[in-house]
A and B are shown apart, each in its own frame.
Chain A
Protein backbone atom coordinates (compact mmCIF):
# COMPACT_ATOMS: atom_id res chain seq x y z
CA UNK A 1 0.00 0.00 0.00
CA UNK A 2 1.64 3.20 -1.18
CA UNK A 3 1.53 6.13 1.20
CA UNK A 4 2.42 9.74 0.46
CA UNK A 5 3.20 12.39 3.08
CA UNK A 6 3.68 16.08 2.38
CA UNK A 7 5.88 18.22 4.56
CA UNK A 8 7.04 21.81 4.59
CA UNK A 9 6.35 25.26 6.04
CA UNK A 10 2.72 26.17 6.52
CA UNK A 11 3.38 29.89 6.20
CA UNK A 12 5.31 31.65 3.44
CA UNK A 13 5.83 35.39 3.02
CA UNK A 14 4.67 37.14 -0.15
CA UNK A 15 7.35 37.14 -2.87
CA UNK A 16 9.01 34.21 -1.13
CA UNK A 17 9.40 30.61 -2.25
CA UNK A 18 7.10 27.79 -1.24
CA UNK A 19 8.93 24.49 -0.75
CA UNK A 20 7.26 21.16 -0.08
CA UNK A 21 8.43 17.56 -0.05
CA UNK A 22 6.42 14.41 -0.60
CA UNK A 23 7.81 11.27 1.01
CA UNK A 24 6.75 8.01 -0.63
CA UNK A 25 6.49 4.82 1.40
CA UNK A 26 5.22 1.36 0.59
CA UNK A 27 6.49 1.64 -2.96
CA UNK A 28 9.39 2.90 -5.02
CA UNK A 29 9.47 6.31 -6.62
CA UNK A 30 11.42 4.60 -9.39
CA UNK A 31 8.40 2.54 -10.38
CA UNK A 32 6.72 3.16 -13.75
CA UNK A 33 4.56 6.02 -12.52
CA UNK A 34 4.36 9.78 -12.70
CA UNK A 35 4.23 11.79 -9.49
CA UNK A 36 2.20 14.99 -9.32
CA UNK A 37 1.43 18.05 -7.23
CA UNK A 38 -2.16 19.30 -7.09
CA UNK A 39 -3.46 22.26 -5.13
CA UNK A 40 -6.83 23.43 -3.87
CA UNK A 41 -7.46 27.00 -2.65
CA UNK A 42 -9.79 27.13 0.36
CA UNK A 43 -13.35 26.44 -0.73
CA UNK A 44 -12.39 26.07 -4.38
CA UNK A 45 -11.61 23.37 -6.93
CA UNK A 46 -8.52 21.36 -7.83
CA UNK A 47 -5.61 22.61 -9.94
CA UNK A 48 -2.86 20.38 -11.29
CA UNK A 49 0.58 21.96 -10.83
CA UNK A 50 2.92 19.51 -12.51
CA UNK A 51 4.42 16.03 -12.53
CA UNK A 52 7.76 14.24 -12.53
CA UNK A 53 9.02 10.81 -13.56
CA UNK A 54 11.87 9.13 -11.71
CA UNK A 55 14.15 9.90 -14.66
CA UNK A 56 13.68 13.58 -13.89
CA UNK A 57 11.36 14.30 -16.81
CA UNK A 58 8.78 16.90 -15.91
CA UNK A 59 5.56 18.46 -17.18
CA UNK A 60 4.24 21.69 -15.73
CA UNK A 61 1.00 23.64 -15.88
CA UNK A 62 1.71 26.56 -18.24
CA UNK A 63 -0.14 28.87 -15.87
CA UNK A 64 2.58 28.25 -13.25
CA UNK A 65 5.50 27.09 -15.36
CA UNK A 66 7.65 30.18 -14.93
CA UNK A 67 7.54 29.79 -11.13
CA UNK A 68 7.51 26.01 -10.59
CA UNK A 69 10.24 23.44 -10.17
CA UNK A 70 9.56 19.80 -9.35
CA UNK A 71 12.48 17.55 -8.52
CA UNK A 72 13.01 13.95 -7.44
CA UNK A 73 15.40 12.40 -4.93
CA UNK A 74 15.50 8.67 -5.60
CA UNK A 75 17.87 8.01 -2.71
CA UNK A 76 15.27 9.35 -0.28
CA UNK A 77 12.26 8.05 -2.21
CA UNK A 78 10.72 11.51 -2.36
CA UNK A 79 9.92 14.36 -4.69
CA UNK A 80 9.67 18.07 -4.10
CA UNK A 81 7.89 21.23 -5.20
CA UNK A 82 9.26 24.74 -5.31
CA UNK A 83 7.00 27.66 -6.22
CA UNK A 84 8.65 31.04 -6.37
CA UNK A 85 7.36 34.61 -6.13
CA UNK A 86 4.27 33.55 -4.23
CA UNK A 87 1.27 35.76 -3.58
CA UNK A 88 -1.91 35.36 -1.56
CA UNK A 89 -3.42 33.61 -4.60
CA UNK A 90 -1.05 30.70 -3.95
CA UNK A 91 -2.65 30.02 -0.57
CA UNK A 92 -4.02 26.50 -0.85
CA UNK A 93 -3.95 22.95 0.36
CA UNK A 94 -1.16 21.27 -1.58
CA UNK A 95 -1.44 17.56 -2.35
CA UNK A 96 1.08 15.16 -3.78
CA UNK A 97 -0.33 12.29 -5.79
CA UNK A 98 0.68 9.20 -7.76
CA UNK A 99 -0.65 8.44 -11.22
CA UNK A 100 -2.17 4.98 -11.59
CA UNK A 101 -0.52 4.69 -14.96
CA UNK A 102 0.26 6.59 -18.14
CA UNK A 103 -2.64 8.91 -18.86
CA UNK A 104 -4.58 7.49 -15.92
CA UNK A 105 -5.91 9.20 -12.83
CA UNK A 106 -4.32 9.65 -9.44
CA UNK A 107 -4.84 6.56 -7.29
CA UNK A 108 -2.86 7.58 -4.21
CA UNK A 109 -2.82 10.99 -2.54
CA UNK A 110 -1.13 12.56 0.43
CA UNK A 111 -3.36 13.99 3.13
CA UNK A 112 -2.58 17.51 1.96
CA UNK A 113 -0.88 20.41 3.64
CA UNK A 114 -2.21 23.93 3.93
CA UNK A 115 0.22 26.62 2.85
CA UNK A 116 -0.75 30.20 3.64
CA UNK A 117 0.96 33.12 1.96
CA UNK A 118 0.93 36.05 4.34
CA UNK A 119 3.28 38.57 5.89
Chain B
Protein backbone atom coordinates (compact mmCIF):
# COMPACT_ATOMS: atom_id res chain seq x y z
CA UNK B 1 0.00 0.00 0.00
CA UNK B 2 1.07 3.58 -0.60
CA UNK B 3 1.48 5.45 2.68
CA UNK B 4 0.43 9.10 2.79
CA UNK B 5 1.94 11.29 5.48
CA UNK B 6 0.61 14.77 6.21
CA UNK B 7 2.26 17.52 8.19
CA UNK B 8 1.55 19.11 10.46
CA UNK B 9 -1.09 17.00 12.23
CA UNK B 10 -2.57 20.16 13.69
CA UNK B 11 -2.18 23.83 13.02
CA UNK B 12 -3.36 27.01 14.72
CA UNK B 13 -3.85 30.05 12.54
CA UNK B 14 -5.76 33.31 12.35
CA UNK B 15 -8.28 34.64 9.87
CA UNK B 16 -6.40 36.16 6.97
CA UNK B 17 -3.30 33.98 7.41
CA UNK B 18 -1.70 32.05 4.56
CA UNK B 19 -1.53 28.37 5.44
CA UNK B 20 0.29 25.46 3.82
CA UNK B 21 -0.26 21.77 4.51
CA UNK B 22 2.08 19.17 3.09
CA UNK B 23 1.50 15.58 2.05
CA UNK B 24 4.17 13.04 1.20
CA UNK B 25 3.63 9.72 -0.56
CA UNK B 26 5.77 6.66 0.16
CA UNK B 27 6.32 6.23 -3.59
CA UNK B 28 5.73 8.29 -6.68
CA UNK B 29 2.06 8.83 -7.45
CA UNK B 30 2.55 11.21 -10.39
CA UNK B 31 -0.22 13.81 -9.95
CA UNK B 32 -2.90 11.43 -8.66
CA UNK B 33 -3.40 13.39 -5.46
CA UNK B 34 -6.61 14.80 -4.04
CA UNK B 35 -7.38 17.11 -1.12
CA UNK B 36 -10.52 17.09 1.00
CA UNK B 37 -11.97 19.31 3.70
CA UNK B 38 -14.05 17.73 6.45
CA UNK B 39 -16.08 19.53 9.09
CA UNK B 40 -17.40 17.78 12.21
CA UNK B 41 -20.31 15.49 11.50
CA UNK B 42 -20.06 16.04 7.76
CA UNK B 43 -18.78 14.06 4.80
CA UNK B 44 -15.47 15.07 3.26
CA UNK B 45 -15.62 17.64 0.48
CA UNK B 46 -13.34 17.46 -2.55
CA UNK B 47 -11.26 20.63 -2.89
CA UNK B 48 -8.43 19.76 -5.26
CA UNK B 49 -7.96 16.83 -7.64
CA UNK B 50 -5.07 15.83 -9.88
CA UNK B 51 -2.80 17.67 -7.42
CA UNK B 52 -3.64 21.16 -8.67
CA UNK B 53 -7.10 21.24 -10.27
CA UNK B 54 -9.70 23.19 -8.34
CA UNK B 55 -13.00 21.37 -7.91
CA UNK B 56 -16.01 23.29 -9.21
CA UNK B 57 -17.49 25.65 -6.62
CA UNK B 58 -14.39 25.71 -4.41
CA UNK B 59 -13.04 29.21 -3.64
CA UNK B 60 -9.91 30.24 -5.47
CA UNK B 61 -8.05 30.86 -2.19
CA UNK B 62 -7.46 27.10 -2.18
CA UNK B 63 -4.66 25.81 -4.37
CA UNK B 64 -2.62 22.66 -4.71
CA UNK B 65 0.77 21.86 -6.12
CA UNK B 66 3.30 19.07 -6.42
CA UNK B 67 3.96 15.84 -8.24
CA UNK B 68 5.77 12.61 -7.61
CA UNK B 69 5.93 12.23 -3.83
CA UNK B 70 5.58 15.75 -2.40
CA UNK B 71 2.43 17.87 -2.46
CA UNK B 72 1.07 20.98 -0.82
CA UNK B 73 -2.33 22.49 -0.16
CA UNK B 74 -2.30 26.26 0.32
CA UNK B 75 -5.05 28.49 1.61
CA UNK B 76 -4.08 32.02 0.64
CA UNK B 77 -6.19 33.94 3.17
CA UNK B 78 -7.97 31.94 5.84
CA UNK B 79 -11.67 32.54 6.26
CA UNK B 80 -13.72 31.53 9.33
CA UNK B 81 -15.38 28.71 7.39
CA UNK B 82 -11.99 27.15 6.55
CA UNK B 83 -11.36 25.84 10.06
CA UNK B 84 -11.73 22.10 9.56
CA UNK B 85 -9.71 18.93 9.06
CA UNK B 86 -7.93 18.42 5.75
CA UNK B 87 -7.00 15.08 4.19
CA UNK B 88 -4.88 14.17 1.22
CA UNK B 89 -5.63 10.99 -0.74
CA UNK B 90 -3.80 9.17 -3.49
CA UNK B 91 -5.76 7.76 -6.41
CA UNK B 92 -2.71 6.37 -8.22
CA UNK B 93 -3.64 2.80 -7.41
CA UNK B 94 -5.80 0.72 -5.14
CA UNK B 95 -6.09 0.52 -2.24
CA UNK B 96 -6.66 4.27 -2.29
CA UNK B 97 -5.13 5.69 0.87
CA UNK B 98 -5.57 8.87 2.86
CA UNK B 99 -3.25 10.93 4.97
CA UNK B 100 -3.92 10.99 8.69
CA UNK B 101 -5.43 14.47 8.49
CA UNK B 102 -4.45 18.00 9.48
CA UNK B 103 -6.72 19.77 11.93
CA UNK B 104 -6.77 23.51 11.30
CA UNK B 105 -7.83 25.43 14.38
CA UNK B 106 -8.43 29.07 15.18
CA UNK B 107 -5.58 30.78 17.02
Residues of A within 8 A of B (CB): 36, 45-48, 51, 59-63, 95, 97, 99-100, 103-107, 109-112
Please tell me which one of the listed residues A46, A97, A112 contacts residue B87 in the complex, with CB atoms under 8 A apart. Answer: A46
Question: Given the complex, which residues of A lie within 8 Å of B97, measured CB to CB?
Answer: 48
Residues of B within 8 A of A (CB): 1, 32, 34, 36, 42-46, 49-50, 55, 87, 89, 91-92, 94-101
For B55, the closest partner residue in chain A by CB is A107
> Which of the listed residues A45, A46, A63, A105 has the most CB atoms from chain B within 10 Å of its own CB?
A105
Distance of A31 from chain B, by nearest CB (Å): 17
Whether A45 pairs with B87 at a CB distance below 8 angstroms is yes
Whether B49 pairs with A51 at a CB distance below 8 angstroms is no
Please tell me which one of the listed residues B46, B87, B96 contacts residue A107 in the complex, with CB atoms under 8 A apart. Answer: B46
Whether B49 pairs with A46 at a CB distance below 8 angstroms is no
Distance of B33 from chain A, by nearest CB (Å): 9
